[in-house]
Chain A
Amino acid sequence: MKSTKSIMVVDDDSDIRESVRDLLESKGYDVLTAANGLEALAQLQKGARPALILLDLMMPVMDGYQFVAEQRKSATFGQIPILVVTANMRSGQNAASIGANGYVQKPFKNRVLLESVERLRK
């Protein structure tokens, strides 16, 4: 299941989710989407192994902070890198505080997002 071209997009805003999916798919990535941390966790538990998770922090049901706390506990998918994508002004601090591998602040330049994705996926 693991592919370095597979990216998971976790965001409660469907417009963002689909826009990012379109953008990434246009660059040849396989994209999985989840509307909140719980959905993302469920997909990972069922065996999904993306090369990178793009994570919004503020989401209903299970937010980004709770998701990372749960994900990092897992022996099988805890090592998947996280790129925080958030509209919060203090996204840098927030990303650092949960131990994410990088962050991009919304609204972003598509080029910046694609560069970060390319750098972090493994």
Chain B
Amino acid sequence: MRLRFPTKALAAMFGRDGRYAPRTAGVAAAVLLVLVAANILTLTELAAARAGFQHSADLASALARLQGELTDAETSQRGFLLTGQTPYLAPLKKAERQIPRTLDDLSRLAADNPRQQDPVETLRRQATARLAEMRGTVALKTRGRTAEALAVIRSGAGRSLMDSVRGIITHVSREEDRVLQERSARMVEYFRLAIWINVVAGTGLLGLAVLLIGIGRDILRREAQERALRTAAGAQERFFAMVGHDLRNPLSAISIGVQHLEEQGPLPAEAAVLRRIASSGARMERMVGQLLDLVRVQAGALPIDPEAGTDLAGTVAAAADELRVAHPESEIRVNSSGDTMGTWDPDRLAQLASNLLGNAVQHGPSPIDATVAGDAENVTLEVHDGGVIPEDILPTLFDPLRRGRSSDPAERRAERRSTTGLGLGLFICKSIVEAHGGTLHVHSSREDGTTFRVVLPRVPPVQIVPPSS
């Protein structure tokens, strides 16, 4: 089974470009921190509860010890009063030593609970009084005043003291049981809370881990797709290079031969034929280049190879120089201001400048003005001529395979005869500009003439080759 990860949830948590990843990691860390804190708190509370249980057990043990010691003392007293034999007095003497220590223990153990302090003090007074009563009767018996000693016993003061001591012991024990129950209940609550926090936070972290695994897999898958795309784009580009190479080779052979024959001094009639062959060959060469570019654009984006330090003003000036040689009748003026350098594909930029200036030379009356200006982020090229492009042509001006700037069919036919390309020049210009992340717009009116305006960011955004269809 293939798990599908909720991409919307992922995008919400991490951002489509991962920009929220630190925030989400922060939340996960906070959850983890709460989890650790909750567990430390629970453990601390458990340790405290354990100490509380021990405390209660110690108190219960001290109470039982006190009762036992008093009973031993009582038995010892009675034995001596009945027999008058001193060995019976040993347990009483032992109890006399132990009972004060036990009472001290009880006071210490009751110190944390105000409700136990008073009863424990009463217990001390009465236990001490009971011991004193026993010591008194033993003293009377020792001095032979047995009747007086028995009279003290008969008075019942000792028994009522002992009853009171037992009552207090029961009371203190119950109070300690109540405290113990409270401690148990609180511990159970802490346990429940800790379990709840652990389950919730643990589930959250587990979910996060699963999402992270999903993201990792997603990233790997996307990288694989991008690799495949790059490979496909590379294969396509190699194919176009091969086709271009194969189509240009015969044209090169024609060109070499024609030039060679021209140098041999042909007859005037032959020279005219050679010129026609040469110009046809050159036109064919341009069209092959344009067709290849069209196919490249339609297959995705025009590939560009940007180089830092490419000068737009210099490129435009070079294109203008070439056009002046071919069209000595045209006046081409180039102006530049500001920093006109950027990271662009120099070959494509030369093609752009040559196409835009060539278009102006072909269609607009002289002079042609090319203005290059650089600002902080962009470099702008404006090519202006005095011609007009009819309004109905403007919307489709940059479409491929359209020709001429005139809306009159007869004029267009005339233009077509004089045009040497496939009507791809402006389309390729736009493709080159867009491949560099820039814009190309045209403004044309009878008053202002025609201006093509190119705005190029100094550094093109990262080129993403879309999947080929």
The size of the chain B interface, using a CB distance under 8 A, is 23
- A16 and B241 contact, Cβ closer than 8 Å, known pairs A93-B305, A110-B256: no
A22–B245 contact, CB under 8 A?
no
Distance of A22 Cα from B253 Cα, bound (Å): 11
Question: For the complex, would chain B's binding face be called helix, strand, loop or mixed by DSSP majority?
Answer: helix
Stretch from B23-31, B257-265, B431-439, B446-454 forming part of the interface with A: B257-265
Which parts of B217-261 form the interface with A (CB within 8 Å)?
A: 241-242, 244-245, 248-257, 259-260
**Identity of the chain A residue whose Cβ is nearest the Cβ of B348 in the assembled complex:** A89
Other-chain contact of B260, A15, A16, A23, A88 (Cβ < 8 Å): A23
CB distance from B184 to the nearest CB of A (A): 82
- A16 and B256 contact, Cβ closer than 8 Å, known pairs A90-B305, A90-B347, A93-B305: yes
Q: For A111, what are the chain B residues with a Cβ–Cβ distance below 8 Å?
A: 259
B260–A26 contact, CB under 8 A?
yes
- A107 and B285 contact, Cβ closer than 8 Å, known pairs A13-B249, A20-B256, A93-B305: yes
Q: Which among B245, B250, B251, B259 has the greatest number of chain A C-beta atoms within 10 A?
A: B245
Q: Which among B249, B260, B347 has the greatest number of chain A C-beta atoms within 10 A?
A: B249
Distance of A15 Cα from B253 Cα, bound (Å): 6
CB distance from B238 to the nearest CB of A (A): 10
Q: For A26, what are the chain B residues with a Cβ–Cβ distance below 8 Å?
A: 260
The answer to whether the Cβ of A2 comes within 8 Å of any Cβ in the partner chain is: no
Other-chain contact of B252, A58, A88, A90, A107 (Cβ < 8 Å): A107
B347–A106 contact, CB under 8 A?
no
The answer to whether the Cβ of B281 comes within 8 Å of any Cβ in the partner chain is: yes
Q: For A119, what are the chain B residues with a Cβ–Cβ distance below 8 Å?
A: none
CB distance from A35 to the nearest CB of B (A): 13
The size of the chain A interface, using a CB distance under 8 A, is 21
A86–B260 contact, CB under 8 A?
no
Q: For A20, what are the chain B residues with a Cβ–Cβ distance below 8 Å?
A: 256
A86–B285 contact, CB under 8 A?
no
B256–A19 contact, CB under 8 A?
yes
Q: For A15, what are the chain B residues with a Cβ–Cβ distance below 8 Å?
A: 249-250, 253
Distance of A20 Cα from B259 Cα, bound (Å): 11
A87–B248 contact, CB under 8 A?
yes
Distance of A95 Cα from B225 Cα, bound (Å): 32
B255–A107 contact, CB under 8 A?
yes
Distance of A90 Cα from B245 Cα, bound (Å): 11
The answer to whether the Cβ of A73 comes within 8 Å of any Cβ in the partner chain is: no
Other-chain contact of A87, B252, B281, B305 (Cβ < 8 Å): B252
Which parts of B13-63 form the interface with A (CB within 8 Å)?
A: none
Other-chain contact of A106, B241, B248, B263 (Cβ < 8 Å): B248
Q: For B263, what are the chain A residues with a Cβ–Cβ distance below 8 Å?
A: 110
Q: For B285, what are the chain A residues with a Cβ–Cβ distance below 8 Å?
A: 107
CB distance from A33 to the nearest CB of B (A): 14
Other-chain contact of B244, A16, A88, A93, A108 (Cβ < 8 Å): A88
- A88 and B259 contact, Cβ closer than 8 Å, known pairs A16-B249, A19-B253: no
Other-chain contact of A107, B242, B248, B347 (Cβ < 8 Å): B248
Q: For A88, what are the chain B residues with a Cβ–Cβ distance below 8 Å?
A: 241, 244-245
Distance of A89 Cα from B289 Cα, bound (Å): 9
B242–A16 contact, CB under 8 A?
no
Distance of A22 Cα from B252 Cα, bound (Å): 14
B259–A13 contact, CB under 8 A?
no
Q: For A109, what are the chain B residues with a Cβ–Cβ distance below 8 Å?
A: 259
Other-chain contact of B253, A16, A86, A93 (Cβ < 8 Å): A16
Q: For A110, what are the chain B residues with a Cβ–Cβ distance below 8 Å?
A: 256, 259-260, 263
**Identity of the chain A residue whose Cβ is nearest the Cβ of B307 in the assembled complex:** A93
B347–A89 contact, CB under 8 A?
yes
CB distance from A8 to the nearest CB of B (A): 17
Distance of A91 Cα from B270 Cα, bound (Å): 33
Q: For A58, what are the chain B residues with a Cβ–Cβ distance below 8 Å?
A: 241-242, 245
Interface flags for B258-286 (1: CB within 8 Å of A; 0: not) read 01100100000000000000000110010
Other-chain contact of B245, A19, A23, A87, A93 (Cβ < 8 Å): A87
Distance of A88 Cα from B252 Cα, bound (Å): 12
CB distance from B3 to the nearest CB of A (A): 45
Which parts of A76-122 form the interface with B (CB within 8 Å)?
A: 86-90, 93, 106-111
Q: For A106, what are the chain B residues with a Cβ–Cβ distance below 8 Å?
A: 248-249, 251-252
CB distance from A60 to the nearest CB of B (A): 11
Which parts of A7-34 form the interface with B (CB within 8 Å)?
A: 13, 15-16, 19-20, 22-23, 26
Distance of A106 Cα from B246 Cα, bound (Å): 11
Distance of A72 Cα from B245 Cα, bound (Å): 25
**Which residues of A are at the interface with B, using a C-beta cutoff of 8 A?**
13, 15-16, 19-20, 22-23, 26, 58, 86-90, 93, 106-111
List 6 other contacts, CB 8 Å, given A89-B347, A90-B347, A110-B263: A13-B252, A13-B253, A19-B256, A23-B256, A89-B244, A107-B252
Query: 17 interchain pairs (CB within 8 A)?
Result: A13-B252, A13-B253, A16-B249, A19-B256, A20-B256, A26-B260, A58-B242, A58-B245, A87-B248, A88-B244, A89-B289, A89-B347, A107-B255, A107-B256, A109-B259, A110-B259, A111-B259
